[in-house]
Chains A and B, each alone.
Chain A
Amino acid sequence: MTTDSSADVARATGLGKEVTGPGGHLTILHALDLCVKPGEAVAILGASGSGKSTLLGLLAGLDQPTQGEVWLCGQALAGLGEDGRAALRNGRVGFVFQDFQLLPTLTALENVLLPLELGGKAEPEPIAQAALDRVGLAARSDHYPRQLSGGEQQRVAIARAFAPRPQILFADEPTGNLDQETGEQVIDLLLDLRNAAGAALVLVTHDPRLAGRCDRRLGMRAGHLESLA
């Protein structure tokens, strides 16, 4: 396992991703470089199909690049297997997805409990309950996802993401399935919690207003990353 002594919570160098499809080789990401500092909020803007989600998946160790290297929380992902990457994510990386990805069979509280239980936390319930409280859903902790509105489901997902106090949070179009007003509330919550926890945030979106609330904005176009401001 390679350890990077630099202070970046996530770093990619020469990162590339190619896939082979029916039409031959397709390059999704072209040798891009990226650093995310602790506590920094970085927005990645781009149109559909520009490679934003692929980049997010590679940075979070959900997928492997075809070229280049990724460091996450100070560790190089290249030398890690699937389980090694999972162990690295455990408790240190949080996720918020466009379609919430709550487990339908678990209540709101149980969904928040899940990463804490997987991380082997001794007393996970009070932590999970507090996280739900912070997103204003303490009273709905026994509700199942299908009994919650889209905004409420996303707030449960945010509570789940922050409950283990991660170093970095990856958010993939977190307001994509929500109306504008609910989306605003969700992004307020996300940024507030990020500030309180001191976690870095990598936000993938195509909404410039949302991106404008981040420390740094990067544009993704046809697999190339460029600084927007």
Chain B
Amino acid sequence: MTAWRLALRLLRRDWRSGELYLLSAALALTVAAMTAVAFFGDRVERAMQRQGGELIASDLAVDDGHPIPQAFADQAQALGLASAATIEFPSVVLAGELTQLVQVKAVGPGYPLRGRLRVQADPVAPEAEAAGGPAQGEVWAEPRLLPLLGLETLAGEGPEIALGETRLRLTRVLAYEPDRGANLVQLAPRLLVNAADIPATGLVTPVSRVRYRLLVAGEAAMVDAFRDWAQARLPRTAQLVDPEHARPELATAIAGATRFLRLATLVTLLVAGAAIALASRRLVERQTDAVAVMRCLGAPRHLLTQVFILRLFALGLAVGLVGVLLGYGAQQGLVALLGDLFAQDLPPPSASPIAVGLITGLVTLFGFALPPLIQLARVTPLRVLRRDLGTPGASVLGATLAAGAALALLIWWQAGDAQLAARLLAGLAGTLLGLVGAVILLIRLAAWFQPRTRGVWRLGLAALTRRPAGAVLQVAGFGVGVLALLLLAVVRVDLLRAWQEGLPPDAPNRFLINIQPQDVDPLRAFLATHGLADSGVLPMVRGRLIRIGDRSVDPDAYPDPRAQRLSAREFNLSHAERPQADNQVVAGRWWGPEDAPDQFSVEEGLAETLGIRLGDRLTFWVSGHEVSATVTNLRHVKWDSFNVNFFVVSPPGLLGAEAASYVTSFHLPPGRESVMAELQRKLPSVTPLDVDAILGQVRRVMERGARAVEYVFLFTLAAGLLVMLAGIQATLAQRRGEHAVLRALGASRGSLLAALAVEFTVAGLLAGLLGSAFAELTGWLLAGQVFDLEFAFNPTLWALGVLGSGALIGLAGTLATYPLLVRPPLEGLRRG
């Protein structure tokens, strides 16, 4: 008989006997959790990217100062992508006697492809979503344009305004424009026009200053295909605009959410792995006799090893498929639960999570269960005569290495982030070592107490200490379970809060640019009078990077489109004596007052993108002459803080004499918009920018990300509970015989129940103590090392962890074991 046939027969029989239920449940949960997280994460990530797409009203845009060749729109159509064209240019509108400079945006059918326009019928009317742009002959205007044109209402058909050679009706107030935030330097109010009206205006001629945009959106793979196609054919003056590059602060928020989701997935994996390890151990214990008999009947070791491997593979595949189905169902449930959280329908999941689930299941199962099962093949056949010969001592090193290798593989694969993977692995190794070491110490302590106690305490503590290996595994298993539950609390409450607090409610929502040097002091005084705190009024010098060392900067020489864009544009440079409060020098040293002035401090992301290193000499073209200095430090900038920040900063001695304007940001509380009108009157040359919309978008991404992560952590919770169940189940077989003997000897059910409660409660308290300590440690490490957040220790977590774990495990363990006490002792004695 082939090993396959035997493996399948034994698998079927083991399944029927119920021996594989616990292992299968742990595995199915692992796969279900991983698949659900993968399916759901896949959809959430895609939704987030799509919502990021709101910032450019599409998934990808082609931007050019010249009309975009028709071939681009044709290609988008050929790939099944939706497309829409927009044209933007400055112009002047006339209403009655009043004229005003506006930023005209003409939109074609389909616009916006991502996000929705929101309009009001009147400045005081409620906002409503609009299906598309204005109809032909109509325009929509930003609220601030109305008073500038002396208009108070849009009653009736709407006032008529002149744009170029045509007259159009102003029918709606434009409350929200998804891609508005993409261009901060938008000085004039927006006027949204139907593209069909543009020819009649006569404003767009071949010499006009016009920005053309082709927006595309659709399936991610097709968008990627379009990007590749367009990249190769892009006119020199054109560029591709990605949502991720539209706003660095949004990209940071999305990256943060993605990291949290991945972390949640990995924690689920680790916890469920512990459940599989415990369940495998139980399986091995229960299979020892069967293997001894088979060895005695002549089964060679290699055949048994083959049978175990094949059986495990078949089990992994079958249970894996069930897990994938469960995972799919679970994520559907999550989507139903979270349906209203997402403004748009979640995109359908891709098929890749199925492979993720199956591969994860097999790797986890093999990593955790194979070493003890292979060890099982080494059971001596003599055990049929001598029951005292137990399971061969499992190679702790081998088992640990196999489990570690499986985890490393999965973490590396799932994290997609070498740094996070390496830290998690190191943290895991440290946690396991620490956990096992601490459990051994605590069990020894309990063993020391045991002879000094009486009655149920003696019995309960003896149960915990007489099988040190089993107890270590059980308490460590409980500890991992508690750790998972507490991590949920740590991550959910503390880390997510810290993340959201990175963007406080009073984050700056107004930027002031074009502040002339003579306006700096009056502006400061104005803001102080109105009780508004600015983030610092900082000088801004425009300069183009022309050389890095001896190498001239050629945008085309960079393969990365972002590097191309960055190197092609003018930088906002600044000078300062001290780094800004939210900047952190990560390499090199910030200058002192005595140091030479020819130094630059460069933002680390820019340095990486453009290949700038410490010690490089950068040359900028500033106001018609060259300014050179050496890069002496690199800075980490929190772009999502909404404070004014600069890619490149020098000491005042270098750029202080250059012509500069100033820039600042501050938080304007809702309802105080009149302050801005007053500011405009007093300091007319200062240009205010309203970033409330983009701020709101970043906040929404954070909020949704946090909710998604919380839900994903429910799987970790389930895995944690399963680990505990596995820990309790692991000793059931042994207890059956022991309880039968104790009851035969006259022990009452009550005293045995009390002993059980003592044993499980003590195990729970020990696990709670360890779980709390490691949860805090993990939270602290993750906050500081991975997420770059402030972390505060949480004393209630300890109380909850230790006492809650003692109560939960004490109760669950006692309840789960109680059925053994109600069965006749003879049954237990017979089954041994």
- Least CB distance from B702 to A in Å reads 53
| Interface stretch of the complex, out of B136-144, B270-278, B297-305, B585-593 | B297-305
Q: Are B385 and A86 in contact (CB under 8 A)?
A: no
A sample of 25 cross-chain residue pairs with beta-carbon separation below 8 angstroms, ordered by A number, consists of A53-B386, A62-B296, A62-B380, A62-B384, A86-B301, A87-B300, A89-B296, A91-B298, A93-B298, A95-B296, A99-B387, A101-B293, A101-B384, A103-B289, A105-B13, A105-B290, A106-B13, A110-B13, A115-B298, A117-B1, A117-B5, A118-B6, A118-B297, A119-B298, A121-B1
Q: Are A105 and B19 in contact (CB under 8 A)?
A: yes
Question: Closest A-chain residue to B2, C-beta based?
Answer: A120
A121 to B386, CA, bound (A): 29
- In this assembly, does A198 line the interface, its C-beta being within 8 Å of a C-beta of chain B? no
Q: Are A89 and B297 in contact (CB under 8 A)?
A: yes
A105 to B1, CA, bound (A): 20
Q: Are B17 and A105 in contact (CB under 8 A)?
A: yes
Task: Say whether, besides A57-B385, A62-B380, A97-B384, A118 and B289 are in contact (CB < 8 Å).
Answer: no
Number of contact residues on A: which range applies? 35 or more
Q: Are A86 and B300 in contact (CB under 8 A)?
A: yes
- In this assembly, does A188 line the interface, its C-beta being within 8 Å of a C-beta of chain B? no
A20 to B16, CA, bound (A): 42
- In this assembly, does B382 line the interface, its C-beta being within 8 Å of a C-beta of chain A? yes
A92 to B296, CA, bound (A): 11
Q: Are B293 and A90 in contact (CB under 8 A)?
A: no
Interface residues of A in 101-115 (CB under 8 A from B): 101, 103-106, 110, 114-115
Task: Say whether, besides A57-B382, A90-B298, A120-B1, A146 and B831 are in contact (CB < 8 Å).
Answer: yes
Which residues from chain B contact A63 at a C-beta distance below 8 Å?
380, 382
A92 to B385, CA, bound (A): 19
Q: Are B294 and A118 in contact (CB under 8 A)?
A: yes
Q: Are B298 and A97 in contact (CB under 8 A)?
A: no
Q: Are B16 and A105 in contact (CB under 8 A)?
A: yes
Q: Mark A60-95, 1 if CB is under 8 A from B, else 0.
A: 101100000000000000000011001111111101
- In this assembly, does B444 line the interface, its C-beta being within 8 Å of a C-beta of chain A? no
- Least CB distance from A130 to B in Å reads 18
- In this assembly, does A56 line the interface, its C-beta being within 8 Å of a C-beta of chain B? yes
A124 to B1, CA, bound (A): 10
- In this assembly, does B14 line the interface, its C-beta being within 8 Å of a C-beta of chain A? yes
- Least CB distance from B291 to A in Å reads 10
Question: Closest A-chain residue to B301, C-beta based?
Answer: A83
Which residues from chain B contact A124 at a C-beta distance below 8 Å?
1
Question: Closest A-chain residue to B16, C-beta based?
Answer: A105
Q: Are B19 and A86 in contact (CB under 8 A)?
A: no
Question: Closest A-chain residue to B293, C-beta based?
Answer: A101
- In this assembly, does B115 line the interface, its C-beta being within 8 Å of a C-beta of chain A? no
Other A-B pairs beyond A90-B299, A120-B1, 4, CB < 8 Å:
A62-B296, A62-B381, A91-B298, A105-B14
- Least CB distance from B218 to A in Å reads 55
- In this assembly, does B9 line the interface, its C-beta being within 8 Å of a C-beta of chain A? yes
Q: How many residues of B contact A (CB 8 A)?
A: 32
- Least CB distance from B535 to A in Å reads 71
- In this assembly, does B50 line the interface, its C-beta being within 8 Å of a C-beta of chain A? no
Of B17, B382, B830, the most chain A CB neighbours within 10 A belong to B382
- In this assembly, does A172 line the interface, its C-beta being within 8 Å of a C-beta of chain B? yes
Task: Say whether, besides A118-B294, A146-B831, A56 and B17 are in contact (CB < 8 Å).
Answer: no
Q: Are A103 and B293 in contact (CB under 8 A)?
A: yes
Question: Closest B-chain residue to A58, C-beta based?
Answer: B382
Interface residues of B in 1-39 (CB under 8 A from A): 1, 5-6, 9, 13-14, 16-17, 19
- Least CB distance from A215 to B in Å reads 23
A110 to B265, CA, bound (A): 42
- Least CB distance from B378 to A in Å reads 9
- In this assembly, does B295 line the interface, its C-beta being within 8 Å of a C-beta of chain A? yes
3 pairs of A and B residues whose beta carbons are closest in the complex: A90-B298, A105-B17, A89-B298
Q: Are A90 and B13 in contact (CB under 8 A)?
A: no
Q: Are B384 and A118 in contact (CB under 8 A)?
A: no
- Least CB distance from B293 to A in Å reads 5
- Least CB distance from A73 to B in Å reads 12
A119 to B298, CA, bound (A): 8
Interface residues of B in 311-326 (CB under 8 A from A): none
Question: Closest B-chain residue to A54, C-beta based?
Answer: B385
Q: Are A95 and B297 in contact (CB under 8 A)?
A: yes
A146 to B829, CA, bound (A): 12
Which residues from chain A contact B384 at a C-beta distance below 8 Å?
62, 95, 97, 101
Task: Say whether, besides A101-B293, A115-B298, A118-B303, A86 and B1 are in contact (CB < 8 Å).
Answer: no
Q: Are B301 and A82 in contact (CB under 8 A)?
A: yes
Which residues from chain B contact A82 at a C-beta distance below 8 Å?
301
- Least CB distance from B381 to A in Å reads 5
A206 to B5, CA, bound (A): 41
Q: Are A86 and B295 in contact (CB under 8 A)?
A: yes
Which residues from chain B contact A103 at a C-beta distance below 8 Å?
289-290, 293
A93 to B303, CA, bound (A): 18
A5 to B193, CA, bound (A): 107
- Least CB distance from A212 to B in Å reads 24
Q: Are A114 and B297 in contact (CB under 8 A)?
A: yes
A62 to B298, CA, bound (A): 10
Q: Are B17 and A86 in contact (CB under 8 A)?
A: no
Interface residues of B in 114-135 (CB under 8 A from A): none
Question: Closest B-chain residue to A102, C-beta based?
Answer: B293
